Structure 1
Amino acid sequence: MTPESNGATVPDNPDLLDIDSLFTPTELAFRDKVRTFVDASIRPNIAGWYEDAVFPVEIIPEMASLGLLGMHLDGYGCAGRSAVEYGLAALELEAGDSGLRTFVSVQGSLAMSAIHKHGSEQQKQEWLPRMAAGEAIGCFGLTEPGAGSDPGNMKTFARQEGDSWILNGSKRWIGLASIAQLAIIWAMTDDGVRGFIVPTDTPGFTASPIQGKLSMRASIQCDIELRDVRLPASAQLPGAKGLRGPFECLNEARYGIIWGAMGAARDSYLTALAYSKERLQFDRPLAGYQLTQEKLVNMALEINKGMLLALQLGRLKDAGKMLPHQISAGKLNNCREAIAICREARSMLGGNGITLDYPPLRHANNLESVRTYEGTDEVHTLVLGNHITGIPAFR
C-alpha cells in the first residue's frame, strides 16, 4: 500500500519480541478476521466519514455478522469470546478508527453489559439477542454536564409514583444516543443510584448530537434531556444498586481501550515507517537518518510494551483475577503512550501529516477523547496513587 493511502497494511510489523507467539491459533485467527474486515470496509472510507462527521450505520450488520457486538458475553446470541479475543478485536478496530471501536464498546461493553450483568431474565431475553444482531442499538447514560469524573454528584433523579418511575435530568457525551433504540440511564433515587432501561421513543426523552467536534468525528456523541420520562417498574435494572453498577460496566469498556489505543499507535507507526522509507530528503530516504531511526525505535518499543501490558491484563481477566487498579494502569499507560506515538508519527510526515491522506493526526485527535472518557489520566493516576499509598487523594 502506498504512503498516500489511509494507513499502512500490516505485513510490516512492530512486533520486536515475537509477541504473536503468545497468542493461541484461535486468537490469531479471530484477530486476522477482524483485521480483514477493517482493511476491506473501514480503511477505504474512514477519511471521508471523518471529514464529513458521519457514523457509518451501514457497517453495523457486518459487525454483527462477525459476532463483534457483545462479543465477550455468553448466551442470548452473543459470541462468548475470551477477554484476549475481545482485546484483539478492539486493537484491530481502533487501527481503523477510534470511533468505530467506540461503537462496539458502547454497544457491547456498556449497554449490553449493563443488561447482562444487572438485568432481569426478561430484560435479557427482550434486548440482548436483538442487540447482538445489530437490530437494536443501545447507549449508556451516566455522564452529565456537571458530573463527569464525579458521577456520585449526578443530578438526574428518578422518583417513584405508584408503580411507575419518573425520570428528570440531563446527560452529556452519550455515544450513539441519537440512533439508539434503548438507553441505559443511571439516576439518583431515594435509595441511591439505580439503572433503568429507557426505550428512546418514550415521551420526554430527547437526544441531540453534539456538533463541532475536533475528535471522534466518525462517531456519535449526544446530549440527552429527560423531562418527566415515565417508566414502568419493570424498567429498573434489578441487579444494579449504587455506583458499583455502572462502574462494573465502565471497567469492561476501559479494558477494551487498553488494547484499542495500541491499534491506533500501531497504525500510525506503520504509516510513518512506510513514509520514511519512500520519502527522499537530501537524496536519501528519511529512514536512513539517525533521528528518524531513533523515533521509529522508540515508537516500536512502546507499542511492544503496551501490547505486553494489554496481554497480561487479558490473561488475568480470563482467569478472573484482574483488579480495578490494574485496569487504571493499562488505560493510563497505553493511552498516554499511544497519543505520543501518533503525534510523533505526524511530525515525521511533515506538512503532509496534517491532511486526511494520512491517519496519524486523525488518530491523535481521536485519542484526545479516548484518554478523557472512561476516566481521565488524572483520575486513573489517583486510583493508582490510592492503591500504592493507601491514601485517597481525590478531594
Structure 2
Amino acid sequence: MLSRFASRLSRPASASLKGFSALAEDSPFMELRPAVTMYSEEETAVRDMVKTWAQQELAPHVREMDREGAMRPDILKSLFDNGLMGMEIPEKYGGSEMNFTSAVIAVEEIAAVDPSFAILVDIQNTLTNNALRFWGSEELQEKWLPRLATDTASSFCLSEAGSGTDAFAMKTTAIPSPDGSYYTLNGSKLWISNSKEAGVFLVFANAAPEKGYKGITAFVIDAETEGITVGKKERKLGLKASSTCALSFEDVKVDASCVLGEVGMGYKYAIEILNEGRIGIAGQQLGIAKGAFNATMPYLRERKQFGTSIGDFQGMQHQVAQLATEIHAVEVMTYNAARMKENGLPFVKEASMCKLYSSQVAERVASKCIEWYGGVGFTEDIIVEKFYRDCKVGSIYEGTSNIQLQTIAKIIANEW
C-alpha cells in the first residue's frame, strides 16, 4: 500500500493537485486522526465532572486552606468519593479504571482551582498507585490498591537532606534480618509531600549499601508502623495547604512482603515512575497557567483607562496573544507526552520537555496576570497572587529544570 501511494508521488509536477487529491481519497493517509487535545467521550466526561467538582466543592475553601496551611478532611474524602484518587486502579480493586490521560486531565482541572490538591491527586495517581500496579506483588496489590482507591492517601518518599537531585546518594538503610524475613529501616527523608495526610508511604532505602545505588529497594509501609515519625510541616512559599514534612525512621521493622518488586531494583522503579510523574506535574503547571489566565481575562474587559478597556490596547492584546500561544503549546506538549506513554512509545524526552516548559510558562503567565491587574493584583484579594506562589516549585520538584535540560540533551545526543 505504501508503494502504491509512492507511485502517485512520482507523478509529473505538472499534474493537477485536484487530480492527486481524488486519487488519494482511498489512501490510508486520508484517515482522520484526532489531535492530542481532542478527548474521548470518557475523557471529556472526566474533564466536565472534575471541573464542576472543583468549582463547587473546592473553590469556596481555597483561601481558607491556604491561610491555615491545611487541607479540609471533607474535601479529601470527596476526592475518594468521586473516584479521583484511584483513576487507573482496576475496578476489581475499587478504582475508576481509566487511562493515564484522564488522570492528567483531572490534575489540570484541579490545579486551575487549587494546585495544592492537584499535587495530592498527581502523586497518588501517577506515582504511588502506578508503582504498585506495575511492580507490586499480588499480596501488596490486594492489600493496598482498594485502600488507595477509596480512603488512603499516599506519599512518595525518595528525597533526603543530602540527596535531592542526586537521589541515589541516599543514606536511609534497610538492613535485612539474618533469615531475610524482615528489614530494619533507619534514616530520614525530607520534602515529603502529603506526609500528614498519608496512610501509606512508598519508601526508598538501601538494602545493600555496599552495592551503592544497586542496593536501593522500594518498600510499601503502613504509616502507623512503629518507629516512623512525621516531622513538622515546612512553612513554604506556596502550596501551603499541601503538607510537606520530614520523615524519620528509627529501627522500623518491615516484613519482607512489603518489598515492592525486586530487592535492589528501587533505583530503576524510581526513575521509571518519575518519568511519567513529570507529565502529571506538567498537567498541574498547565492548570495553574490556565487558572491565572482565566481569572484575569474578564478584568481586562471591565477595567477602563482613558475611556477604553485595558484589554483593547494593542500592547495588552499582544501580551495576551503571546501567553495564550504559550499555554496552548504546553497543552499540546503535555497531552502528546501522555498519549505517547499510553501507547508504549518512548516518552522520556517529551516528559522532560513538557515538565520544563510548563513550569516556565506557568511562572510567566502568573507573573503577567499580576501585572495586568495592577496594584490589586499584588494583594490577596485576587487569586492570581496565589497561583504565582504555587507555580514556583514546578521548576524544582520531580526533577529540577536543569535536570530536565540535561535529560533532554542526553537523549538528543544519543539520537544523533
Q: Structures share a fold, TM > 0.5?
A: yes
Identify the match of residue 251 of structure 1 among 269, 275, 300: 275
C-alpha distance in 1, partners of 2:287/2:160? Answer: 29
Q: Which runs of 5+ in 2 are unaligned?
A: 1-33
C-alpha distance in 2, partners of 1:43/1:238? Answer: 39
- Which residue number corresponds to residue 164 of structure 2? 148
SS in 1 for 2:261: strand
- Which residue number corresponds to residue 40 of structure 1? 56
Q: Is the 8 A contact 2:89 2:149 kept in 1?
A: no
C-alpha distance in 1, partners of 2:332/2:246? Answer: 37
> 2:189 corresponds to which letter in structure 1?
K
Is 2:213 the counterpart of 1:189? no
Shift of 1:335: 1.3
Report 1:1-395 matches (<5 A): 22-75=38-91, 76-133=93-150, 135-162=151-178, 163-190=181-208, 192-239=215-262, 241-390=265-414
Percent sequence identity is: 27
**Cα pair distance change 1:19/1:339, threshold 3 Å:** farther
C-alpha distance in 2, partners of 1:342/1:288? Answer: 20
C-alpha distance in 2, partners of 1:155/1:21? Answer: 43
C-alpha distance in 1, partners of 2:157/2:234? Answer: 18
Shift of 1:318: 2.0
**Cα pair distance change 1:374/1:356, threshold 3 Å:** same
Q: Which runs of 5+ in 1 are unaligned?
A: 1-17
- Which residue number corresponds to residue 4 of structure 1? none
TM-score (norm 1): 0.90
Q: Is the 8 A contact 2:36 2:332 kept in 1?
A: no
Shift of 1:381: 0.4
- What is the root-mean-square deviation in Å for CA atoms of aligned residues? 1.9
C-alpha distance in 1, partners of 2:89/2:345? Answer: 17
**Cα pair distance change 1:20/1:105, threshold 3 Å:** closer
> 1:179 corresponds to which letter in structure 2?
E
- More helix per residue: 2
C-alpha distance in 1, partners of 2:410/2:383? Answer: 37
> Where does structure 1 differ by over 4 angstroms across 4 or more consecutive aligned residues?
18-21
Q: Is the 8 A contact 1:343 1:364 kept in 2?
A: yes
Q: Which has the higher contact order (CA 8 A, sep 6+)?
A: 1
Greater Rg by CA: 2
TM-score (norm 2): 0.85
C-alpha distance in 2, partners of 1:21/1:242? Answer: 34
C-alpha distance in 2, partners of 1:118/1:277? Answer: 52
